[in-house]
């Protein structure tokens, strides 16, 4: 398929805010895609790689400026200038390519296959991480060639894809509905969603849709490939909890650790975060603990990894433990400083998928395969009861042991990947915090002028698939944290306007605040009063939703 057909659809998508229109634009594109359906569907997600593959290009906005300059023969200053003028690097790339094509007689036509092959090649270079400098040069050359063969509009979207910033306003739900429209006259959206939650791969789901409903239904979870985790609803009281999950229910302690989905394939252990990142290398202690204490050669366990103090065995909060997630060096040292204990709470695969069995049965199986050993693997503290008094005691105990509260779980329910269904609820005593993305920032003045000081926070609008501002945060940060944040934000900058910058919403922080107010000053329509930073949430990739903020606002009054 011609790549220009895809970018034509991208342009149409950008021009409308209406979800129904977006769905039909995509459905039409998918129907026309034929042999390249998988690639086209993945491109509309913003990256040609399915999430579970953990592949990316590793290109920052600054590097893209260099690439565009190489591709078009313009100086980096000129590209920077166009970026400033247009406020977007995609449009800057388009402008630079336009100037260039005026001097050319003809351009070769790009196909989807050519583009995806090239991006894959670069991602593989990135993954192999040979010597940094050589790698970077080669990568830039490959991508510059791609942009130099693009038509202006193709360059716009290619540039955005390269820095992972496609922003078509197309969310998971729109792709799902478009597949339903393209292949099943708008029906079976639920089956498609289910297939996606199992596979984390819209490319694969699309191919199955093309074959027919049976193929979609046949898509199963694959051992070794992470599936989305089941999430919890929040309740305020034990009574409310029982209403959601029924009686009797399972009550667990809620640990302040890191969610991990651990896959054992023929005895080989792989650890995934809930963002589907493979962190096996970062957690050799968890791998060893599972190898030695889980009696199953093929299984998937849902667990919390809890950091503890090696001196006194006391719990270490997630914020400190999260250092281990990103760390690629000194792993052994960090393992000694912040060791983890594996605390399994669910089993989703044991020689075959068992996620449709009731939780009580899954828990029994889990008990059978876990050989407990303190500070290595211990089942989550778990009790099955209908007694509110008993639950209340457990909650007190959990809090006084330094945990976050309790989880209440329905004994009869299946495991629903990716869903915040009420099969599992959390009960925490503290005021609700919000997990928000940093969407912009301002360069400070005076002593701190090298730092991005004031941070703009955004929530995720599910309906529009975009981020909306809900407030600014300047307090609650130490100098060290400001420095750290500046370092993290710089490569994410997409636009600069005077002292203000816009950034890709990739950094999630947990914020405390006094209350939520209505406000015309922010695009969300709401403002947090006195937001303060509590911690970074490296384990999360999406912020809380606008819909949730609306609900919190209503609950408050």
Which residues of the shown chain bind ligand ATP in the complex (CB under 6 A)? 231-232, 252-255, 259, 304, 345, 380, 407, 426
> Smallest Cα–Cα separation from 438: which of 479, 465, 473?
473
Are the beta carbons of 26 and 209 closer than 8 angstroms?
Answer: no
Are the beta carbons of 256 and 265 closer than 8 angstroms?
Answer: no
- Using the minimum distance from each CB to ligand ATP, give the nearer residue, 317 or 491: 317
**Is 2 considered catalytic here?**
no
CB of 403 to ligand ATP, least distance (A): 8
Q: Which residue among 95, 139, 210, 254 is the active-site one?
A: 254
CB of 232 to ligand ATP, least distance (A): 4
Question: 204: burial class by Cβ within 10 Å (0-12, 13-18, 19+)?
Answer: buried
Q: Is the peptide bond before 248 cis (omega within 30 degrees of 0)?
A: yes
CB of 407 to ligand ATP, least distance (A): 4
- Using the minimum distance from each CB to ligand ATP, give the nearer residue, 201 or 252: 252
- Using the minimum distance from each CB to ligand ATP, give the nearer residue, 153 or 254: 254
- Using the minimum distance from each CB to ligand ATP, give the nearer residue, 79 or 232: 232
Sequence-distant (≥ 6) Cβ neighbours of residue 24 within 8 angstroms: 178, 181
- Using the minimum distance from each CB to ligand ATP, give the nearer residue, 59 or 260: 260
> Smallest Cα–Cα separation from 511: which of 540, 489, 484, 490?
540
> Smallest Cα–Cα separation from 84: which of 500, 495, 491, 442?
495
What is the DSSP code string of 273-333? -TT--B-TTT-HHHHHHHHHHB--SSEEEEEEEEEE-TTT--EE-HHHHTHHHH--SSHHH
Q: What are phi and psi of 131, to 5 degrees?
A: -60, 125
- Using the minimum distance from each CB to ligand ATP, give the nearer residue, 230 or 441: 230
β-sheet bridge partners, residue 269: 264
Sequence-distant (≥ 6) Cβ neighbours of residue 120 within 8 angstroms: 48, 49, 55
Residue with tokens 């995806």: 116
- Compute CA 83 distance to the chain's CA centroid, rounded to the nearest angstrom: 27
- Using the minimum distance from each CB to ligand ATP, give the nearer residue, 426 or 490: 426
CB of 323 to ligand ATP, least distance (A): 17
CB of 447 to ligand ATP, least distance (A): 35
φ/ψ bin of 46: left (φ > 0), alpha (ψ from -120 to 50), beta (otherwise): left
State the Cα–Cα distance between residues 546 and 526, nearest whole angstrom. Answer: 9
State the Cα–Cα distance between residues 260 and 343, nearest whole angstrom. Answer: 10
Sequence-distant (≥ 6) Cβ neighbours of residue 205 within 8 angstroms: 41, 179, 192, 195, 196, 199, 216, 219
Q: Which two tokens stand for residue 57?
A: 């290009």
DSSP at 2: B
Catalytic (active-site) positions: 254
């Amino acid at each position: 398929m011609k790549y220009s057909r895809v970018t034509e659809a991208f342009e149409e998508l950008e021009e409308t805010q209406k979800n129904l229109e977006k769905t039909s634009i995509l459905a039409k594109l998918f129907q026309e895609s034929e042999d390249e359906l998988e690639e086209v569907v993945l491109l509309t997600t913003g990256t040609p790689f399915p999430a579970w593959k953990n592949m990316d290009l590793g290109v920052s906005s600054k590097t893209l400026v260099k690439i565009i300059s190489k591709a078009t023969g313009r100086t980096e200053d000129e590209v920077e200038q166009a970026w400033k003028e247009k406020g977007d690097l995609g449009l800057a790339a388009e402008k630079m390519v336009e100037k260039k094509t005026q001097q050319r007689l003809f351009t070769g036509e790009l196909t989807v296959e050519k583009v995806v092959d090239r991006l894959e090649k670069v991602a593989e270079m990135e993954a192999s991480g040979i010597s940094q400098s050589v790698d970077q040069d080669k990568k830039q050359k490959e991508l510059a060639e791609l942009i130099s063969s693009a038509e202006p509009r193709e360059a716009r979207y290619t540039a955005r894809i390269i820095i992972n910033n496609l922003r078509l306003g197309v969310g998971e739900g729109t792709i799902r509905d478009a597949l339903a429209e393209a292949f099943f006259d708008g029906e079976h959206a639920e089956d498609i969603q289910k297939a996606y939650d199992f596979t984390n791969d819209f490319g694969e789901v699309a191919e199955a849709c093309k074959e027919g409903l049976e193929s979609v239904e046949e898509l199963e979870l694959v051992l070794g490939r992470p599936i989305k985790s089941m999430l919890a609803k929040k309740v305020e009281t034990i009574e409310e909890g029982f209403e959601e999950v029924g009686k009797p229910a399972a009550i667990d302690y809620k640990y302040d650790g890191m969610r991990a989905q651990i896959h054992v394939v023929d005895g080989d252990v792989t650890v995934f975060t809930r963002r589907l990142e493979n962190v096996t290398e970062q957690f050799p202690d968890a791998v060893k603990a599972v190898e030695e204490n889980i009696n199953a050669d093929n299984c998937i366990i849902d667990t919390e990894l809890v950091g503890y103090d090696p001196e006194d065995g006391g719990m270490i909060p997630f914020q400190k433990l999260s250092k281990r997630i990103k760390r690629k060096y000194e792993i052994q040292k960090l393992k000694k400083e912040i060791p983890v204990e594996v605390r399994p709470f669910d089993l989703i695969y044991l020689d075959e998928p068992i996620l449709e069995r009731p939780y009580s049965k899954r828990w029994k199986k889990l008990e059978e395969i876990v050989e407990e050993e303190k500070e290595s693997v211990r089942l989550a503290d778990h009790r099955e009861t209908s007694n509110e008094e008993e639950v209340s005691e457990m909650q007190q105990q959990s809090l006084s042991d330094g945990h976050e509260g309790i989880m209440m779980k329905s004994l009869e329910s299946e495991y629903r990947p990716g869903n915040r269904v009420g099969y599992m609820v959390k009960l925490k005593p503290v005021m609700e915090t919000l997990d928000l993305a940093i969407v912009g920032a301002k360069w400070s003045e005076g002593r701190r002028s090298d730092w991005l000081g004031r941070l703009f926070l955004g929530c995720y609008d599910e309906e529009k698939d975009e981020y909306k501002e809900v407030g600014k945060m300047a307090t609650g940060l130490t100098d060290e944290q400001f420095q750290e944040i500046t370092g993290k934000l710089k490569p994410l900058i997409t636009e600069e306007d005077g002292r203000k910058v816009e950034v890709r919403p990739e950094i999630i922080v947990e914020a405390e605040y006094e209350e939520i107010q209505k406000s015309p000053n922010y695009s969300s329509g709401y403002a947090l009063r006195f937001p303060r930073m509590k911690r970074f949430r490296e384990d999360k990739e999406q912020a809380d939703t606008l819909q949730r903020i609306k609900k919190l606002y209503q609950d408050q009054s």
